[in-house]
Chains A and B, each alone.
Chain A
Amino acid sequence: MKIDCCVCHRSQELGHCEIVELSADEKVTVEKMGYKPAPDKLHYCKPCWKILNDRQQGAQLIKGFWERSLQRAGVVNAEAKAEKFRRNLLDKVKP
């Protein structure tokens, strides 16, 4: 059975995926972000999983997604806001 990676959207064999089951709190957070209904599980392909587990690169990837989304939404200072978000992420995940 094949399933799409939730980050890069490439189709992967289910057996080659990393699977994260969302807790009730996490589901609420995901729904607040606009993803309704929140899925029970998130599937990640191994290359994306590896990047997200790397403190620096994972934070850069999330910052990149944020910056692009903010730019598309026409938010001023998208870069500064995305950078602030990245720093907050790094503060939360100490090395």
Chain B
Amino acid sequence: MPRRLPLLADRSIQEAHAEKLRIAAEFERGVLSEGKVSCHAGCSNCCYYPLTISILEGINIYQWLAKNHLWTPKLKASFQEAKDKTWDLAPEIWLLSMIPCPLLDEQNRCSAYEVRPLLCRTVYSRGDPYYCHPHRLGSSLTGILSRILEVDELHLQEAKILKRHRLKPLQVSLAAAVLLGERIVKKEVDLEETNSTLLQEYVQRL
């Protein structure tokens, strides 16, 4: 059985997840009411984009994977590999290197679709998916819709939640956030120690 977080931390994770679902649902309604999108299951072009999330999303994803018995040693190893490859990597280099999201399965589907980050939930393209490929992204033919306002809104809500834990908002790679999330859930690290733990790790890697 997955372990439980302290009550306040658990409430914070649930609150952040609810905010994410609300923002994503509103965005999706707006997008779909304005016309068709070209995104379809099995297209995984956006699963190679640089992706950073907060520790709140990281814990949520870890808890979901553990609860559904998907957090296997093999999956954890691919998270570790992705974390090592993307640690402190410039976003442009990350994009061009085609580093797959560790949640991407062999059928090109997200293995944690239900709890995927807001950045993934709000990627919609009205253009040809061919131009969503990381090596072609940014051309005038890439039809990905802007979601800056939605991402900013989630970051603002997360900042308010993290303040309760005396934490400043910090975005790290999905792999780093989920791996740290595991340590927090297993009570090896307190949620309140998130930023200092990441800083220590950063210094060690220099």
Contact = CB atoms under 8 A, between A and B. Distances in A.
Is B one of A's binding partners? yes
Interface of A: 7-8, 10, 16, 45-48, 50-51, 54, 57-58, 60-61, 63-65, 67-68, 71, 79, 82
Contacts of A7: 93
Contacts of B86: 47
B88 to A, nearest CB: 5
Interface string B64-100: 0000000000000000000011111110110111110
A57 B88 contact: no
Given A50-B84, A57-B98, A64 B89 contact: no
Given A57-B97, A60-B96, 6 more contacts: A8-B93, A10-B90, A51-B85, A57-B85, A64-B135, A71-B136
A48 B85 contact: no
Contacts of B93: 7-8, 47-48, 51, 61
Contacts of A45: 88
Contacts of A64: 95-98, 134-135
B206 interface: yes
A5 to B, nearest CB: 8
A61 B86 CA distance: 13
Contact of A82 (B87, B92, B98, B135): B135
B135 A57 contact: no
Contacts of A8: 89-90, 92-93
B33 interface: no
Contact of A16 (B95, B134, B206): B206
A57 B99 contact: yes
Contacts of B99: 57
A68 B90 contact: no
B200 interface: no
Contacts of A68: 96, 135
Nearest to B205: A46
A63 to B, nearest CB: 7
B90 A50 contact: no
Contact of A48 (B89, B95, B139): B89
A58 B99 CA distance: 10
Contacts of A10: 90
A1 to B, nearest CB: 16
Contact of B136 (A50, A54, A65, A67): A67
Given A51-B97, A57-B99, A67 B89 contact: no
A20 B134 CA distance: 28
